[in-house]
Structure 1
Amino acid sequence: MTYQVRSLHADEWPRAKALRLAALQDPVAAIAFMETYESAVARPDSFWRERAERSAEGASGAQQIIAQGPDGEWVGTVTVLIEKPGTTDWAGAPVERLQGHLVGVFMRPGHRGIGLTEVLFDAGLEWAWAQGAERVRLLVHADNARALRAYRKAGFAETGVTMTLGGAPDDLELELAVERPESDR
């Protein structure tokens, strides 16, 4: 099967919304995402339009990458946020250097385990390196075994940092275990 992996376009917000809502119905959504299906589905279309505009191709500071199946269905996504030194990240932790932060990782069940997540990550990493990121990280709940396996397979390793996002220190920080290409420095 042939998949297309590319950046989101701002006018595709309805499809981005539908994919996010599908992600929030996944069995591990409660520990994988920082919102519920109920809160997301209640948001107005203006929220989804603005969200797509902030992370669409050519946007500054964030980039949403989507995977489209051979039949045109959107089957996966990852968003890369650029975090600048001297600021705090969305969880309130200080940012010490320019870094990419992968969030909103989702792959529809019928497309998991075929290497497509790594292709999404490669596209997100390429964008982060082009923005000057010194490292790329992500957070994952310690009980999300499926995601941990996928992230490790893609080359991410635990940093030893844990975050308290849901009342207990149960989110692990992982960063890319290999350095970015010399040509990108």
Structure 2
Amino acid sequence: MDYVIRPVRADEWRQAKELRLTALRDPVAPVAFLDTYEQSVRRSDDYWRERTAGGSEDGDGAVRQFVAEAPDGGWAGSVTVLVERPDGDAVFGEAAAVHQTHVVGVFVRREVRGAGVADELFRAALDWSWSLDDPPVERVRLYVHENNPRAAAFYRRIGFAPTGATVPMQGDPTARELEYAITRTRS
């Protein structure tokens, strides 16, 4: 794999915006993201600057966005990790019972799916999560729509397991989002 997996830099908001808008045009976007292309394309450049800066290494440490950069500088995919603490508000689903991170915004361009890019993005997300030690992260979670079996199979393959927790899909309370998690193992 010729991609460099790294945190986004604050000044890369244009690339972050382009990748997010591409993700929101993907056929699975309605079950994969809690956002729409129509909403996002109307957001100001200041919004994209702030969003990208917040996920960079220079951000406040509560969010980290990782990108897969191709040799030509183009971005093949991205994943974002949110820190959730028991004394904080839940980003989605139940409030954290332990110190955990929450993976969101998973996207890999169609032309590189199956090439290991998603695996490497998740490796970076998990490594970063487990590196947080004040206090240590005990688990990493994510949610997947009940009608997104391809994503669910990928998450199981890399070690996530269904927890049994579910939440209604935003905008469609008849559909469910299923929680998957990996718990820190102690050696």
For this structure pair, what is the TM-score category when the shorter chain's length is used for normalisation? over 0.9
Offset, 1:116: 1.6
RMSD of aligned alpha carbons: 1.4
Give the corresponding residue for 1:50: 50
Q: Give, in whole Å, the separation in 1 of the partners of 2:10 and 2:185.
A: 28
**How many pairs does the alignment contain?**
181
Q: 1:161 to 1:19 in 2, by over 3 A?
A: same
Corresponding residue for residue 124 of structure 1: 125
- Percent identity of equivalent pairs: 45
Q: CA distance change for structure 1 residues 2 and 64 in 2, over 3 Å: closer, same or farther? A: same
Partner secondary structure for residue 123 of structure 2: helix
How far is the alpha carbon of 1:89 from its aligned partner?
Answer: 1.0
| Partner deviation per Cα, 1:147-183 (whole Å, 9 max, x = no partner) | 112111111110010111331351000012x63464x
**What is residue 71 of structure 2 aligned with on the other side?**
70
**For residues 89 and 123 of structure 2, what CA distance do their matches in structure 1 show?**
25
Within 1, Cα distance between the matches of 2:119 and 2:186? 17
Distance of 1:112 and 1:181 partners within structure 2: 32
Structure 1: gaps (5+ residues) = none
Cα distance in 1 for partners of 2:62, 2:51 equals 12
Change (3 A) 1:165 1:87: farther
Q: Which amino acid aligns with 1:18?
A: E
| TM-score, L = length of structure 2 | 0.92
CA contact (8 A) 1:77 1:104 kept: yes
CA displacement, residues 62-114 of structure 1 (integer Å, 9 cap, x when unaligned): 10000012222101000000001122312362211110100000000111112
State the match for 1:156 in structure 2: 160
Q: Which moved more, 1:120-129 or 1:89-98?
A: 89-98
Partner of 1:137: 141
Matched, 1:179 2:168: no
* Unaligned segments of structure 2, at least 5 residues: none
2:114 match: 113
Report SS of the residue matched to 2:65: strand
Per-residue deviation, 1:14: 0.5
